[in-house]
Amino acid sequence: MSAEFKVRIEPHGRTVPVAPGQPVLEAALAAGLNLPHSCKSGHCGSCRARLLAGQIDYPAGRPLGLTREEHDAGYVLLCQARARGDVTVEARLIASVGEVEIKTLPCRIARLRPLAADVMQVWLRLPAVEHLRFQAGQYLDVLLEGGRRRSFSIASPPHDSDLLELHVRRVEGGGFTSQLFGGTGLREGALLRIEGPVGQFVYREGTGPVVMVAGGTGFAPLKSMLRHVLETGRQRDIHLYWGARHAPDLYEEDLVLGWVRRHPRLRFTAVLSQAGAGEAAHRRTGWVHEAVLADHASLSGSEVYAAGPPAMIEAIRASFPGAGLAPERLYFDSFDYAPDSQAATAPA
Ligand SMILES: Cc1cc2nc3c(=O)[nH]c(=O)nc-3n(C[C@H](O)[C@H](O)[C@H](O)COP(=O)(O)OP(=O)(O)OC[C@H]3O[C@@H](n4cnc5c(N)ncnc54)[C@H](O)[C@@H]3O)c2cc1C
Ligand code: FES
């Protein structure tokens, strides 16, 4: 067996073992240290840390989520960084989510229901003796052969988790997601292995106004958060924006409109980027982040929760601070492709 290196994480003074070739973030999470992360693909920049001592390298070169300036200033992305010996990094630890145990569990597909032409609602049943404790907004990884994994947000809320609900968008040429469509691959009753809960995209209790921004199936973690707030009697001003190309892509719009009728402190704006004839009647058109900015001259004092395609998340991260949003009040999950799939499509 090849020797392990040590990763020391400051200012906490915690040391974890990391195998050669293993991403530093993976080693830290496996050791129960809850370091910030989201995409695990080197895109979103959430796992940025400062290298204080030692050397790391990246299997596919400097990741896209790290600028040349950041790299030169000694910053690294821990989800991609491989230690070349013992290293010391400076990183933030997140306390609250760390209290939740990450488990690897078998589960069965209990139910499959098409929500739209390319979105499947997947209900997972855990073994009777098992229970997955999670926080609203977290995701799980479906474990595939060869160590590959595919991430999906949990759409059901923690207080209603007998079955775990996922919203899976079919990806063109997608090895895993396409098996859920067309009845030929994964059917009801099929066995999967999952690992979770993962991620820091979790709802924070508070009192200030909240803006939620979903892009496509980015609605899934926000549904978990909204059900958590609305069904446990918490009071909060929340404005949900849901962006999609066409009206059918807002696959649970009626459910949201029902919530809005019953909960006066919830507002909802649907935004279509490619609205067809008649689709825009009670909806806005354009990009969802631009609709938020058009409605909010100032976002200072607000908290923003955003989930969906990487391009939407990048647009939000680039533009919302200019409207007064404090960066530490922006929580997001960027729905990137899995690292193995990105590596396979990356230019040589
Ligand atoms: C934290 C997190 C939460 C997520 N939650 C959800 C969710 O709730 N619902 C949901 O639908 N999705 C979610 N996703 C996205 C989801 O994980 C992917 O869509 C899924 O992994 C695709 O798996 P696949 O095996 O079907 O496709 P893959 O086989 O991984 O790839 C499919 C296709 O994409 C192409 N591809 C790979 N990388 C790129 C790239 N960078 N640019 C363009 N094309 C590329 C490949 O060539 C291939 O044709 C989430 C992602 C993350 C990181
Ligand atoms: S860049 Fe590392 S988690 Fe997104």
C-alpha 33 chain-centroid distance: 18
Q: How far is the CA of 179 from the centre of ligand 1 (A)?
A: 13
Report yes or no on 71 lying in a domain. Answer: yes
Quote the pTM value.
0.86
Claim to verify: residue 87 and residue 160 sit in the same structural domain? no
**Assigned token pair, 309:** 């395609």
% of the chain with per-residue pLDDT over 90 = 68
Q: Distances from the Cα of 265 to the Cαs of 95, 222, 238, 262, in angstroms? A: 30, 16, 6, 9
Q: How far is the CA of 177 from the centre of ligand 1 (A)?
A: 8
| CATH code of residue 177 | 2.40.30.10
Q: How far is the CA of 238 from the centre of ligand 1 (A)?
A: 28
Claim to verify: residue 214 and residue 326 sit in the same structural domain? yes
pLDDT at 100: 62
pLDDT at 68: 83
Cα separation, 306 vs 82, whole angstroms: 29
| CATH code of residue 50 | 3.10.20.30
Ligand 2 environment, Cβ below 6 A: 37-47, 65, 77, 79
C-alpha 340 chain-centroid distance: 17
Report yes or no on 191 lying in a domain. Answer: yes
Tokens 């909240």 locate to 210
Tens digit of each residue's pLDDT (9 = 90 or more) over 159-199: 998 999 999 999 988 889 999 997 678 999 999 999 888 88
Claim to verify: residue 271 and residue 160 sit in the same structural domain? no
Q: How far is the CA of 207 from the centre of ligand 1 (A)?
A: 34
* Residue 62: domain span: 5-93
What domain count does the chain have?
3
Peptide bond into 327 cis (omega under 30): no
H helical segments located in 61-192: 68-72, 95-98
Give yes or no for a contact between 9 and 2, defined as CB atoms under 8 angstroms apart. Answer: no
Is the beta carbon of 175 within 6 A of some atom in ligand 1? yes
Give yes or no for a contact between 186 and 100, defined as CB atoms under 8 angstroms apart. Answer: no
What average pLDDT does the segment 297-324 reach? Answer: 95
Cα separation, 234 vs 31, whole angstroms: 34
Claim to verify: residue 177 and residue 227 sit in the same structural domain? no
Ligand with the closest atom to the CA of 333: 1
Report yes or no on 205 lying in a domain. Answer: no
For the cut 70, the answer to whether the pLDDT of residue 203 exceeds it is yes
Q: How far is the CA of 258 from the centre of ligand 1 (A)?
A: 30
Q: Per mean pLDDT, which range of 32-36, 87-91, 207-211 is the poorest?
A: 32-36
Is the beta carbon of 167 within 6 A of some atom in ligand 1? yes
**pLDDT band for position 99 (cuts 50, 70, 90):** low
**pLDDT band for position 29 (cuts 50, 70, 90):** confident
What integer best gives the mean pLDDT of the chain?
Answer: 91
| CATH code of residue 314 | 3.40.50.80
Cα separation, 322 vs 48, whole angstroms: 22
Which mutation among 34, 35, 38 tests ligand 2's pocket best, with the greatest number of atoms within 8 A of CB? 38
Is the beta carbon of 223 within 6 A of some atom in ligand 1? no
Tens digit of each residue's pLDDT (9 = 90 or more) over 112-147: 999 999 999 999 999 988 889 999 999 999 999 888
Tens digit of each residue's pLDDT (9 = 90 or more) over 38-76: 788 888 788 999 999 999 999 988 987 888 888 999 999
Report yes or no on 244 lying in a domain. Answer: yes
Claim to verify: residue 122 and residue 222 sit in the same structural domain? no
pLDDT at 1: 45
Greater pLDDT, 38 or 267: 267
